Structure 1
Amino acid sequence: MSEALNRFVASVDSLVEAGGEAQSDFWDKLGDAMRELVACDDWLPEAMAQPHPQYYQQYCLYADPDDRFSVVSFVWGPGQATPIHDHTVWGVIGMLRGAEVCQAYEITEQAPPKPIGKPERLESGHIGFVAPSIGDVHRVSNAFDDRVSISIHAYGGNIGKINRHVFPEDGGPTKSFVSGYSAPAAL
């Protein structure tokens, strides 16, 4: 693990040990740590930055041994996007390379998912947050149709093991899923 990622993991570990979201300055400190991590783009191993031609990749960079948090690189090929989904835990997203667009949604049982507000665009160095307490349902896409974008995510649990939900655009039945992780490319 690189020194930059080690510092970030140590910061998140300290925040989790101190009570996580219950702390009044949790979001500020978590955001500061992520901004520091994505401020420099020389630490991500090449194997964890490889796109797939058909769908985005989710590489595990660090998983806490007690599953209290995880750090992931999301590699977006040109034009790739997630379905509308939730997380069920807190998260911070930092843009390392390129840009992504995030559209938040409201979910009700009686209607299809409804967009909330305007799409948010994260450029390199920018951060965003998700959590059930502040807004947890969104769709994310690469802002570019002609190049790869990479974002770094930290979540309040091992995101590759957490049962989450996909919300079909047509209002069809909610689907449960566990994302797992992409296998890193062979060096």
Structure 2
Amino acid sequence: MGPQQDDIQSFVVELRKVVHEVADEAELLVQVGPIVQRMVQKRRWLTADMYEADPKLGYGTTLLHVEPDQSLFVVVDSWLPGRGVPPHDHDTWAVVVGVDGTEHNLFWQRLDDAQRPGYAELQLMGEQCVSVGEALLLPGGSIHSLINETEHTSLSFHVYGRHLNFTERRQFDPDNNLERPFKIAPR
């Protein structure tokens, strides 16, 4: 096992401890944020292939770890210049830390009662740029979109409370008041 795997294994052990000991989601996010920031600073886990992205989608996802029960999903996402992802939720908590470049996040609030399948009304509520080393803490139920407004591929490190393909994650089209399931295909 090399330094990259050693770092990831130690990181996962530290995450597991917090997740098992902290029941309150807000406190969990506060404790997980610095753990992810320290991991990003190590950078021994970083490889050139993590910058690869699907030109059609505009992003790429590299799987670093997932628990056998699909909890503690850890990935690195790459975002091509000028590309991003429309408003979406995760249906779980998330911590995102910038690795390379800056990602512009927009935060949305759902206005409808979520009772009509395929329908959603969203309102823009705020924004935050996430740069290298900065953490974005997203409680379950958060809706955000993001774009890489730089001229270079950006990279971010993501930790989720559950594998996103095992949640009821949704992607939204606020112009047409639509929602649909949102799954990913990590490498």
- TM class by shorter chain equals 0.7 to 0.9
Number of the residue aligned with 1:34: 36
Aligned to 2:137: 129
User: What is the CA–CA distance in structure 2 between the aligned matches of 1:120 and 1:172, rounded to whole Å?
Assistant: 23
- Equivalent residue, structure 2, for 1:116: 125
**What's the RMSD between the two structures over aligned residues?**
2.1
DSSP-derived class of the 1:78 partner:
coil
Residues 87, 131 of structure 1: 8 Å contact kept? no
1:99 maps to 2:105:
no
Structure-2 separation of matches of 1:69 and 1:84 = 22
Residue type at the aligned position of 1:45: T
Report the alpha carbon displacement of residue 51 of structure 1 after superposing the two structures with TM: 2.5
Matches for 1:1-187 after TM superposition, within 5 Å:
1-19=4-22, 21-22=23-24, 25-54=27-56, 55-109=58-112, 112-117=121-126, 119-132=127-140, 136-144=142-150, 146-181=151-186, 183=187
**Alignment partners' CA distance in 2, 1:96 and 1:75:** 10
Count of aligned residue pairs for this structure pair:
177
CA 1:25–1:173 in structure 2 vs 1: closer, same or farther (change >3 Å)? closer
CA shift, 1:23, in A, is 6.9
Taking the aligned partners of 1:27 and 1:84, their CA distance within structure 2 comes to 21
Q: Which runs of 5+ in 2 are unaligned?
A: 114-119
- Per the alignment, do residues 24 and 123 of structure 1 end up closer, same or farther by CA in structure 2, a change over 3 Å counting? closer
Please list every run of at least 4 consecutive aligned residues from structure 1 whose deviation after the TM superposition is greater than 4 angstroms: none
1:180 is displaced (CA, Å) by 3.1
Label 1:23 to 1:128 Cα distance change in 2 as closer, same or farther (>3 A): closer
Measured at CA, do residues 142 and 69 of structure 1 come closer, stay the same or move farther in structure 2, by a change above 3 Å? same
Deviates more, 1:93-102 or 1:22-31: 22-31
Take 2:54 and 2:25, find their aligned partners in 1: how far apart are those partners?
38
Q: Which residue identity lines up with residue 146 of structure 2 in the other structure? A: V
Separation in 2, partners of 1:83, 1:175 = 12
Q: CA deviation at 1:171?
A: 3.7
Instruction: Give per-residue Cα distances to partners, 1:129-187, cap 9 Å, x unaligned.
Output: 1123xx6101011131x101000000001123323111112143311222232x3xxxx
Structure 1 residues 92 and 73, CA, compared in 2 at 3 Å: closer, same or farther? same
Larger helix share, 1 or 2: 2
Give the TM-score taking structure 1 as reference length: 0.85
Give me the identity figure in percent. Answer: 23
Aligned-partner Cα distance in 2 for 1:57–1:115: 26
SS at 1:39 equivalent: helix
**What's the secondary structure of 1:96's corresponding residue?**
strand
Amino acid at match of 1:148: T
Partners of 1:64 and 1:46 in 2: how far apart? 25
| Structure 2 CA distance for aligned equivalents of residues 136 and 174 of structure 1 | 15
Q: More deviation in 50-59 or 21-30?
A: 21-30
CA distance in 1, matches of 2:64, 2:51: 11
